[in-house]
Structure 1
Amino acid sequence: MKLLKQSFEKDKSGATTLIPQDKEDLWQLYNLIQTGDEIKLSTSRNVKKTQGGAGTSASSGSSGKDKGKTERVNLTLKLKIENVDYTPSDEVLRVRGKTVEPNEYVPMQSYHTAEVQLNSKPFTLYKEEWDEISYGIIVKACSIEDKAEIGAVVMEEGVAHICLITDNMTVLRNKIEKSIPRKRRGEGGGGQHDKALDKFYNMVSTTMMRNFDFNKLKVIILASPGFTANALYKYMLAIAAKESNGASGATNAISENEKRSVITNKSKFIIAHSSTGYLHGLEEVLKDSSIQSKLRDTQFARETLIFDEFQRTLNADDDRAWYGPTEAAKAVELGAVKYLMITDTLFRSDDLGVRKHYIQLGEEVKKTGGEVLIFSSLHESGEQLNQLTGVAVLLTYPVPDLDED
């Protein structure tokens, strides 16, 4: 999402001007735009040209006695939104509402349906209150670091491309090039070739540390022809395992926190084969069916694991797993919630009170050290949670009879 202008503060009214750039942005907008919001955007409408040259909307109930032909006119309208429609297979978001600003072609309070399209003209969204969920959507959608779930390095000896990948976009964050001399016959370890490779691996490792948040990313792909990617992985684990007082000068650029991050998240690394160390090699890797399977497994991995834990606990009937609006609210009030699980469907409710209720529950859970997880209704775990009222809690300790008045 491209942010052009922002004139609002959290929990206050205001507006923001945006351009959606990929399908994921449209999904974020579907969660962001609510009934009662206002939107100003470029659109088109059939207008009947009268004899005097002025126009009237073809759908505004103009008299059949009016002479003139109907034309499609481009115009800018401001609508008070009554309905938002989005189908994931489409590359367009539709909003319907009544006009709230005068226009020479469209009378006030006329219904109009407009489309928000990818990489098209900007639109401005107005809200009476930018609550925590809305504010968070803007922050996430406009930051590639927050949107990306996959980090990738595609490389060969002497060249590496460091990328962040979202559902619909690959962003090159850095390119590293270093001359690597050929290995001479009879040259043992420590020769010019090996020294240059060590420096190259160190450059790639430190650049990855600057561009990747290993704790947030769900997968880190290392791809190359031959064994270069595997060599980089072993190099990173080796320097991460060293104590800082024993590290060589080449590894001083990597902090202790960064070393711990590598060790903690080493299970996220996937070593893959590519025919080249350039960007089209990464496209080749991402199309591989075995890699796609691993990525699908990890995209919603944490939410799936926690929901599985919830279901096991619910089946065990030990009073630590509850679902339902009333039960969840009681558990939050007691300060007993470890995980509060909510589907994004509840945040798209036309009832503003419902939305605010769950935002407040989430804030209370965070105050007591719990965690809030918002499940996508497009994923299986989100669908299952929707079948259980859309809200559930996993508690830190058993609390019986939450379902009784």
Structure 2
Amino acid sequence: MRLIKKEISSDGSGRVSLVPQETNDLWYIFRILNEGNTLRTRTIRKVVKENSSGATTSAERKVITIILKVSRIEYDPAGGSLRVSGQNIGENEFIRLGQFHSTDVLLDAQISIGKSSWDNVDRKLIEESCDASLNADVAAVILDDSVAHLYLVTANMCIEKSTIHNSAAKKKYAGPGSDAKQQKFFKQIMQSMTVHVNSEKVRAIIVASPGSTNTQFVECMRGFHEGDLGRLAGQNKSKVLTCRVGSATTDALKEAFDDPGVLKRLGDTKFAQEIKNLNMFLKKMISAPEMVAYGYKCVRAACSNGAVETLLVSDSLTESMGRHRTKVSALMEEVQSYGGTVHTLSSMHASGKQLEKYTGIAALLRFACADAEMDDPSGVDPAATGIEKLAVTSKKGEYHTCYDGKMLVKGK
């Protein structure tokens, strides 16, 4: 993301101009935009001309600048598209004031977002989106002899791009020609990678399997020297990492990212930091439970004593505008004010989903804090923390976020 201009007054109101440069930037815009904000962007509008009798004489598509009061935002993670709907609130000769319009946010096109209050959550999102070192794509192939799953993992989400089945494996045939059938299976995986993996952007390609299938696939991959498959192998030769996992399922993806060699290669990327901090929290839960806190009430108590060194927050707690977001945002700001660090974990990553099992908010402490101890360390009632999880569905007119595998929606 490229930051063009940031004009935020002392009361928190203002406008920020941005240029999304890659599909992951659309996720940040989806997180930043909320119902009631304003969006200034260029859009295409079909303009119809009529004669005095009301008959249509011509129709043409014009590129115009529009200012919308946002009422709905739709984001498709798999397709990499963001659509915004709302009422026109700016003077325009082609669209009446108050008329509804929908437009797609395009890459490399400047937009301007206006808010009555830019809180700590919004500012952190802008900072993260403009830091290229935090945003790096990783491709992962989780496979065994019968199936392969290709994932693209960005700083904020994990998307399954394709699933390839090896029909020959079901026949358990190990006679002449079985190697050729396995090579065909590996070739199909590579062909899928040429479509979904951008070799210039990925930092690493992780190949994981329960047995030796991963090393066999890598050997096959390095055997290609010409054509699209040869380019794929050549451009990513130094990026390929292999590791062992228990199965070729979605759960194996987290297992692969927990591998020390994989974490070392990912370095200081955002999701590598998320995994490291969550793993540290889980280890201390066992070895030194007095040095961690989870649940809003307990973390709030630790923060009041200046005990929070690292705060972990699921982004699901900061999605909606309301008292819950205000409370979490204030907590994040307080932790940062006395030198603590704050990490927002994506609920579309395995680490974020695991954090949600601990109410979505947790902390690593500088020192033990009696006020932060849980009455019942075996479980947490989210309602008791004062922070409720976002509902998948909601009543008409309420804010909601839903994920059906294709689309994320905010608004009415």
Q: TM-score higher than 0.5 here?
A: yes
Question: Which amino acid in the other structure matches residue 14 of structure 1?
Answer: G
Inter-CA distance 365–104: structure 2 relative to 1 (3 Å threshold) = same
CA drift of 1:47 comes to 4.8
Asked if 1 retains the 8 angstrom alpha-carbon contact of 2:307 and 2:368, the reply is: yes
CA drift of 1:361 comes to 0.7
Matched, 1:329 2:329: no
Deviation track 1:14-60 (CA, whole Å, cap 9, x = no partner) reads: 223222111221122222222222111111344553324xxxxxxxx
Work out which structure has the larger RCO, using CA pairs closer than 8 Å and 6 or more positions apart in sequence.
2
Deviation track 1:284-316 (CA, whole Å, cap 9, x = no partner) reads: 236635399755774533322322332344456
Asked if 2 retains the 8 angstrom alpha-carbon contact of 1:37 and 1:127, the reply is: yes
- 2:94 is aligned to 105
CA drift of 1:358 comes to 1.8
Question: Which amino acid in the other structure matches residue 101 of structure 2?
Answer: H
- 2:13 is aligned to 13
User: Residues of 2 paired with 1:77 and 1:356: CA distance?
Assistant: 30
User: Residues of 2 paired with 1:137 and 1:398: CA distance?
Assistant: 30
Please point out which of 35, 45, 66 is paired with 1:77. 66
CA drift of 1:70 comes to 8.4
CA drift of 1:117 comes to 1.5
Question: Which amino acid in the other structure matches residue 91 of structure 2?
Answer: P
Asked if 2 retains the 8 angstrom alpha-carbon contact of 1:40 and 1:125, the reply is: yes
TM-score between the two structures when normalised by the length of structure 1: 0.56
- 1:132 is aligned to 120
* 1:312-351 aligned within 5 A: 312-314=283-285, 318-351=289-322
User: Residues of 1 paired with 2:241 and 2:281: CA distance?
Assistant: 31
Please point out which of 322, 329, 334 is paired with 1:364. 334
Inter-CA distance 86–70: structure 2 relative to 1 (3 Å threshold) = farther
Matched, 1:290 2:242: yes
Question: Which amino acid in the other structure matches residue 359 of structure 2?
Answer: T
TM-score between the two structures when normalised by the length of structure 2: 0.55
**Secondary structure of residue in 1 paired with 2:237:** helix
Inter-CA distance 10–43: structure 2 relative to 1 (3 Å threshold) = same
User: Residues of 2 paired with 1:220 and 1:47: CA distance?
Assistant: 47
**Secondary structure of residue in 2 paired with 1:130:** coil
Where in structure 2 are there 5+ consecutive unaligned residues?
Answer: 139-152, 156-202, 206-221, 226-230, 244-252, 376-383, 385-412
User: Residues of 1 paired with 2:239 and 2:58: CA distance?
Assistant: 48
Matched, 1:310 2:281: yes
User: Residues of 2 paired with 1:32 and 1:311: CA distance?
Assistant: 30
User: Residues of 2 paired with 1:401 and 1:280: CA distance?
Assistant: 51
Please point out which of 378, 384, 387 is paired with 2:354. 384
* 1:235-274 aligned within 5 A: none
User: Residues of 2 paired with 1:68 and 1:309: CA distance?
Assistant: 67
Superposition RMSD on alpha carbons, in Å? 3.9
- 2:130 is aligned to 142
Deviation track 1:190-249 (CA, whole Å, cap 9, x = no partner) reads: xxxxxxxxxxxxxxxxxxxxxxxxxxxxx899xxxxxxxxxxxxxxxxxxxxxxxxxxxx
User: Residues of 2 paired with 1:344 and 1:401: CA distance?
Assistant: 22
Question: Which amino acid in the other structure matches residue 237 of structure 2?
Answer: V
- 1:93 is aligned to 82
Asked if 2 retains the 8 angstrom alpha-carbon contact of 1:3 and 1:17, the reply is: yes
**Secondary structure of residue in 1 paired with 2:362:** strand
- 1:49 is aligned to 49
User: Residues of 2 paired with 1:8 and 1:367: CA distance?
Assistant: 20
Asked if 2 retains the 8 angstrom alpha-carbon contact of 1:313 and 1:321, the reply is: yes
User: Residues of 2 paired with 1:87 and 1:358: CA distance?
Assistant: 27
CA drift of 1:122 comes to 1.7
**Secondary structure of residue in 1 paired with 2:79:** coil
Asked if 2 retains the 8 angstrom alpha-carbon contact of 1:318 and 1:398, the reply is: no
Question: Which amino acid in the other structure matches residue 110 of structure 1?
Answer: Q
User: Residues of 1 paired with 2:263 and 2:74: CA distance?
Assistant: 26
Matched, 1:374 2:326: no
**Secondary structure of residue in 1 paired with 2:364:** strand
**Secondary structure of residue in 1 paired with 2:310:** strand
Question: Which amino acid in the other structure matches residue 317 of structure 2?
Answer: L
Identity, % of aligned pairs?
A: 27
Number of residue equivalences: 273
**Secondary structure of residue in 2 paired with 1:290:** strand
Asked if 1 retains the 8 angstrom alpha-carbon contact of 2:301 and 2:372, the reply is: no
Asked if 2 retains the 8 angstrom alpha-carbon contact of 1:86 and 1:93, the reply is: yes
Inter-CA distance 357–286: structure 2 relative to 1 (3 Å threshold) = farther
CA drift of 1:66 comes to 5.1
Question: Which amino acid in the other structure matches residue 284 of structure 1?
Answer: N
**Secondary structure of residue in 2 paired with 1:373:** strand
Inter-CA distance 96–368: structure 2 relative to 1 (3 Å threshold) = same
Question: Which amino acid in the other structure matches residue 344 of structure 1?
Answer: D
